[in-house]
Structure 1
């Protein structure tokens, strides 16, 4: 049985420039999908997978993330006085246990690989998960839980993948597959970051969920710069692949890239339609909005 996955790293130091001016003072991870911030969905996914400790790699002006996962005494006292028991219970449910979160600072924007390396002392010599907070995954079973199950069966480094149209593969990191492990899992023999059109080894993109062995930190510590002059996680994973097994998992569910405006809005609609009351109010509006452009085009 491989060592258990107890810890997860969430790199949240990015500037969120694609959402300016909204992200000038509010971290992009705190933008809301319906009634909770993006980062809450990612943390909930990690906790549903059995993660015991979450490491947030932050940057400047990100203290509100720590505040969100802390206790809000004034708010809670106000809710108590007003007998808002349901709201109090919700806050208690979402709040991590004491001592189960850590925050460390990435002082320079040197890339995803560098952000993960910043968590090395907190993670220590054990396998761990990485969840990119731009990506939320809507699924019946936590995507990370599906990955942990595969990891427990194989002991391999695990990367979650999702199918994309062939004409879009040049926009993503794409995996090259080897032998099949199961209906949804295969060994990985290579990875290509944004391959030229028509050259992708598959149509499976890397979706921002990883389980990696701690030896990745030794490779990241070289601080070798790759694409864009940044320290790339993909480069170190390719080096680790020379000595360790990697496997892909086509998870059951759907991802939403909340780093893009279209993905962010799509996620809002998808989660809103899950709420019966919201759906009743929203569906007529959506139908009306869809009809108006169609009528104008005729």
Structure 2
């Protein structure tokens, strides 16, 4: 069983400055919840119960958000505001826990994952990037489906999304040997290319920040030399893992919002706001008034 998920939250959030100058980018809200809460809820829904935050100084607000706030809870209880009380008391189920480890220096995503090695131990685990928000609607759960693909195949999984061909140079792209993988399904990966020229790209399947990885990736990361930007890149270790053991690409069925940039954060707020029972009607009327 998979129970551990690593969520790197040590980034500076420069793409959303000045909003992230004093507030962690992961605490910026989509409707009434911080982005990090949406991501943790996605992990919980997929069966993960040990949430490992790889953090740094200045990010205490994230840890505080998942802790109890006794004064606030007492005041809400005294005033009989039951719904609000439940909304802050039930952020995590009783069988889940949040563990924080420090990344002392910003040395890349691979290094951030490696910082969680003492907690991960010998267990396979997931990695979820906290600024990538997936709208799965009511009927499908991509992370749960990817867990099922891992259980069925025994191979590490990398979530991908089909992007326009003229945008592939922005992403890491997987090569699936021309196989047309359908949303909600997995297929073998033959190779990975970082930000390829559109004319030479092996596919339009972009890596979107969700991984299920074997425990052995930690050993590979320990032996991975610094790569691009003089940082330890997760992609470099995945290339070795691909050769040694194989990997699969899981094609997501939901809609992805990159909340690490201003446009993506605004789009996520509109999309989720149109689904929220407290905001949907007013927001829809407002948007219609703009047309």
Q: Tell me whether 1:95 sits opposite 2:92 in the alignment.
A: yes
**Paired position in structure 2 for 1:173:** 172
Distance in 1 between residues matched to 2:206 and 2:157, nearest whole Å = 13
Q: Contact between 1:112 and 1:232, CA under 8 Å: does it hold in 2?
A: yes
Q: Tell me whether 1:34 sits opposite 2:31 in the alignment.
A: yes
Q: Contact between 1:29 and 1:37, CA under 8 Å: does it hold in 2?
A: yes
Total equivalences in the alignment: 287
Distance in 2 between residues matched to 1:83 and 1:277, nearest whole Å = 19
Q: Contact between 2:28 and 2:34, CA under 8 Å: does it hold in 1?
A: yes
The aligned runs of 1:200-239 (5 Å cut-off) are 200-239=201-240
1:140-166 Cα deviation digits (max 9, x unpaired): 333211100111110110011111000
**Paired position in structure 1 for 2:2:** 5
- Secondary structure of 2:189 counterpart: strand
The aligned runs of 1:71-150 (5 Å cut-off) are 71-97=68-94, 100-139=97-136, 140-150=139-149
Q: Contact between 1:45 and 1:143, CA under 8 Å: does it hold in 2?
A: no
Q: CA deviation at 1:99?
A: 6.7
Larger deviation, residues 191-200 vs 157-166:
191-200
Q: Contact between 1:57 and 1:118, CA under 8 Å: does it hold in 2?
A: yes
Q: Tell me whether 1:67 sits opposite 2:64 in the alignment.
A: yes
Q: CA deviation at 1:98?
A: 6.7
Distance in 2 between residues matched to 1:218 and 1:5, nearest whole Å = 19
- Secondary structure of 1:287 counterpart: helix
Distance in 2 between residues matched to 1:98 and 1:147, nearest whole Å = 22
Unaligned runs of 5+ in 1: 292-298
Q: Tell me whether 1:189 sits opposite 2:186 in the alignment.
A: no
Distance in 2 between residues matched to 1:197 and 1:178, nearest whole Å = 16
1:64-109 Cα deviation digits (max 9, x unpaired): 1000000000000000110111111222221353772210000100
Q: Contact between 1:169 and 1:194, CA under 8 Å: does it hold in 2?
A: yes
Distance in 2 between residues matched to 1:223 and 1:247, nearest whole Å = 21
Distance in 1 between residues matched to 2:2 and 2:115, nearest whole Å = 19
- Secondary structure of 1:269 counterpart: helix
Q: TM-score, with normalisation over the residues of structure 1?
A: 0.92
- Secondary structure of 1:252 counterpart: coil
Over aligned residues, Cα RMSD in angstroms? 1.6
Q: Contact between 1:34 and 1:268, CA under 8 Å: does it hold in 2?
A: yes
Unaligned runs of 5+ in 2: none
Q: Tell me whether 1:163 sits opposite 2:173 in the alignment.
A: no
Q: Contact between 1:181 and 1:187, CA under 8 Å: does it hold in 2?
A: no
**Paired position in structure 1 for 2:259:** 258
Q: TM-score, with normalisation over the residues of structure 2?
A: 0.94
Distance in 1 between residues matched to 2:71 and 2:128, nearest whole Å = 31
Q: Tell me whether 1:44 sits opposite 2:41 in the alignment.
A: yes
Larger deviation, residues 43-52 vs 170-179:
170-179
